[in-house]
Amino acid sequence: MNLNFLLSNPLINVSVAAWLSAQLIKTLLDALKHKQFDRRRLAGAGGMPSSHSAVTCAVLLTAYYQYGFDSPVFALAFVLALIVMYDATGVRWAAGLHAKAINHIVEYLEQSDGEIDKKALQDMIPRLNESLGHRRIEVACGAALGFAIAVIAHFFL
């Protein structure tokens, strides 16, 4: 596959720029909040801003600029953005809450005095990632970031 195609495709370029920007902002905010750098945040899910929303909204607006409102590319990008943002605040958010509850139950069982094989429990249920979904403000900020990157790419690059 020719690498020039990837570099010359504006939809790919804005999606990569939006994802990188969101992940860097997310990592910086996490480092400021916890006063330490966690390299796992560079590729981690959840947090502020939503990189999924940033990517889909950057692609959405770029598709509009490149192909117009009536194009199938724009329509597909629009539907995809709605699905991703709905999923981030719904299903993935709920999955994060479930992970938090399961982690709490496992910690409780590990601290109990009952007859439980704690090593087997840890092997069976590793600590689950609780930061899967997003609050609505995180999705909105991700969407705004994606739109901003698309505008910058379209008008200034």
109 against 13, higher pLDDT: 13
Q: Which of 149, 139, 114 minimizes the C-alpha distance to 50?
A: 139
What is the pTM assigned to this prediction?
A: 0.76
Mean pLDDT of the chain: 84
Cα–Cα dist 155/117, whole Å? 61
Residue 41: per-residue pLDDT = 76
The answer to whether 74 and 67 are in contact (CB under 8 A) is yes
Q: Domain ranges for the chain, please list them.
A: 3-81+135-156, 91-132
Distances (CA, A) of 7 to 1, 11, 12, 66: 12, 10, 8, 16
- pLDDT tens-digit readout, 59-78: 999 999 999 999 999 999 99
47 against 112, higher pLDDT: 47
At what angle are helices 10-34 and 136-156 packed, to 10 degrees?
Answer: 130
